[in-house]
């Protein structure tokens, strides 16, 4: 993939070339070329805001409510079923409750999905057998993916069916899953449950619905704004048919003469890859330039050199969140295609051109970022607490000693696991497999603990490290 990316950058005008190299520092990609840029990412100030914003523990109330005794990966014989309607959703979900057991392992697994369990939506050999073995032996695992665009329940149902293994949404972490924490807020971020948020990305308004199922109550899409105020983007006719079927009334009109009653946004979430980059760029830019998030206004602090960042994003503008840093991703096309990271690079370029080079303050999650691994580890610890009979008191049990991260992408899965510094002292061991992005025989950009053929071999190797007799394991 290196020649592709190098060629791409080489022929570009200087400003765009700079843009690509700067933004690739904050993204990982499916190509190895970006590794050196990416290394800088975790130390950048803008990325530290990720930790500042999200890395603190959830508020106790949020923790209690989110820890439902519902982790399914236990032997089917230990599971009983009941339905409940959690506050954040409008439909009943199935919860499964495990009978507590005292022999939960001190290690666990985290699996990437694409290129590990599935390839082009089809199960990979050994995937079902490996997960079934873990179920059977009460060994906790999570699925940790940079994918998204659908609610966890929908993805879990699809995946369970494909693999023939019962899975639960509570141990399924998509790129946007950690955004759930912002419904109730954290120690450093305000609760957004009752605030107005802009959500973009994904098909139609699916991501709006996902956000609502998480518990956000006032979710607006760029399409809603365009259909109410077509003048906001002069080429509005191009996508109007697309937006027509999903448009909803705005919570408030845009009334800049009477700001108290005017439409105001408190956060911007790029949940998934945007489909209409032009409109999304325009509306996000409008909000980042606005006075306190009121659509249609322009902050008088913009460009004020006496203020930090020359006054840009210094006037209560909504915080900007991205769920996935991937610049490129593998699709059915023979060359990598632009991912959500491409949209981010585009927005950053527009921002720099508009502001004369000001920093674009934003929060990015998704592998390989710290917050996503921390969130995943928390989910695993909750699961173990259930297994050990401690309910939702995961702090009461000894932390996991080790998590095996099984992935196909050195730049995200392996890099993230290698760099993750667990707050509870858990060691993350990276296992690279050959059924996805990584090409056998090449040197991975980030060195895993071991490279094996496939997910089954990865689980087998890991279990052997933990002293398991795997002689009876069969694919």
Which parts of this chain interact with Mg ion (CB under 5 A)? 112, 114-115, 408-409, 436
Question: Distance between CA 323 and CA 444 in Å, rounded?
Answer: 24
Residue 244 has a CB neighbour count (10 Å cut-off) of: 10
| Closer CB to Mg ion, 74 or 405, in the complex | 405
Shortest spacing between CB 418 and Mg ion, in angstroms? 16
Nearer to Mg ion, 141 or 312 (CB): 141
Instruction: Please count the CA atoms within 13 angstroms of the CA of 206 that sit on its side-chain side.
Output: 17
Please identify, using beta-carbon distances, which residue of 85 and 331 lies nearer to Mg ion: 331
CB of 115 to Mg ion, least distance (A): 4
CA-closest candidate to residue 427, choices 417, 437, 435: 417
The secondary structure element, H or E, covering residue 432 is strand 427-433
Tell me the H-state helices in 295-453: 340-355, 370-387, 415-419
Q: Shortest Cβ distance from residue 410 to Mg ion (Å)?
A: 10
Residue whose CB is less far from Mg ion, 222 or 368: 368
* Cβ-proximal residues to 371 (8 Å cutoff; 6+ apart), any chain: 50, 51, 54, 55, 178, 365
Output 70 or 412, the one with its CB closest to Mg ion.
412
| Residue whose tokens read 């369970």 | 160
Nearest approach, Cβ of residue 434 and Mg ion (Å): 12
Whether 49 and 361 have beta carbons less than 8 Å apart is answered as yes
Min. distance of Cβ 188 from Mg ion in angstroms? 31
Shortest reach from residue 54's CB to Mg ion, in Å: 23
Q: Which residue is nearest to Mg ion (CB)?
A: 115
Nearest alpha carbon to residue 159 among 73, 89, 79, 30: 73
Nearer residue to Mg ion within complex by CB, 222 or 436: 436
Residues in the chain: 475
Which residue, 312 or 328, is less far from Mg ion as judged by CB? Answer: 328
> Within 13 Å, how many C-alpha atoms sit on residue 459's CB side?
29
Minimum Å gap between C-beta 200 and Mg ion is 24
Bridge partners, residue 196, by sequence: 218
Residue 323 Cβ vs Mg ion, minimum distance, rounded to whole Å: 16
Whole-angstrom CA distances from 64 to 60, 243, 251, 391 are 6, 38, 31, 10
Backbone angles phi, psi at 234, to 5 degrees: -65, -20
Nearer to Mg ion among residue 222 and residue 336 (C-beta): 336
What DSSP string runs through 169-208? Answer: GGGEE-TTGGGGHHHH-BSSS---TTSEEEEE-SSTTHHH
């Amino acid at each position: 993939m290196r020649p592709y990316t190098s060629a791409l950058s080489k022929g570009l005008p200087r400003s765009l070339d700079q843009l690509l190299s700067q933004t690739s520092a904050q993204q990982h990609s499916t190509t190895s070329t970006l590794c050196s840029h990416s290394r800088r990412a975790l130390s950048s100030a803008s990325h530290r805001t990720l930790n500042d914003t999200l890395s603190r523990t959830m508020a106790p109330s949020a923790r209690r409510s989110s820890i439902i005794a519902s982790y399914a990966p236990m032997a089917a014989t230990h599971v009983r079923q009941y339905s409940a309607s959690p506050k954040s959703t409008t439909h009943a979900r199935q919860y499964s409750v495990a009978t507590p057991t005292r022999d939960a392992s001190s290690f666990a697994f985290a699996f990437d999905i694409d290129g590990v369990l599935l390839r082009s939506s089809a199960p990979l050999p050994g995937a079902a057998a490996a997960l079934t073995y873990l179920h059977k032996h009460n060994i906790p695992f999570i699925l940790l993916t940079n994918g998204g665009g659908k609610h966890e329940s929908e993805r879990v149902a699809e995946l369970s069916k494909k693999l023939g293994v019962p899975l639960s949404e509570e141990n399924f972490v998509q790129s946007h899953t950690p955004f759930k924490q912002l419904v109730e807020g954290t120690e450093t971020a305000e609760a957004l449950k009752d605030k107005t948020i802009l959500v973009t990305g994904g098909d139609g308004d699916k991501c709006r619905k996902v956000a609502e199922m998480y518990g956000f109550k006032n979710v607006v899409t760029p399409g809603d704004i365009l259909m109410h105020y077509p003048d906001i983007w002069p080429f509005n006719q191009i996508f109007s048919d697309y937006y027509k079927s999903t448009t909803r009334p705005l919570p408030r009109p845009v009334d800049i003469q009477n700001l108290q009653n005017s439409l105001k946004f408190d956060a911007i979430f790029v949940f998934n890859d945007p489909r209409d980059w032009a409109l999304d760029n325009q509306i996000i830019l409008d909000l980042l330039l606005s006075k306190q998030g009121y659509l249609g206004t322009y902050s008088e602090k913009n460009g004020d050199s006496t203020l930090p960042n020359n006054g840009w994003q210094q006037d209560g503008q909504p915080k900007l969140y991205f769920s996935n840093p991937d610049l490129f991703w593998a699709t059915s096309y023979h060359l990598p295609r632009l991912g959500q990271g491409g949209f981010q690079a585009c927005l950053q370029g527009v921002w720099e051109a508009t502001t004369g080079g000001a920093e674009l303050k934003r929060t990015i999650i998704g592998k390989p970022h710290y917050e996503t691994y921390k969130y995943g580890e928390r989910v695993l610890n909750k699961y173990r607490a259930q297994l050990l009979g401690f309910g939702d008191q995961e702090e009461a049990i000894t932390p996991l000693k080790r998590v095996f991260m099984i992935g196909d992408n050195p730049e995200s899965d392996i890099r993230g696991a290698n760099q993750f510094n667990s707050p509870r002292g858990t060691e993350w061991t990276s296992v690279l497999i050959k059924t996805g992005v990584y090409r056998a025989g090449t040197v991975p950009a980030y060195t895993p603990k071991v490279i094996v053929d496939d997910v089954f071999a990865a689980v087998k190797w890991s279990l052997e490290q933990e002293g398991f007799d795997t002689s009876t394991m069969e694919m």
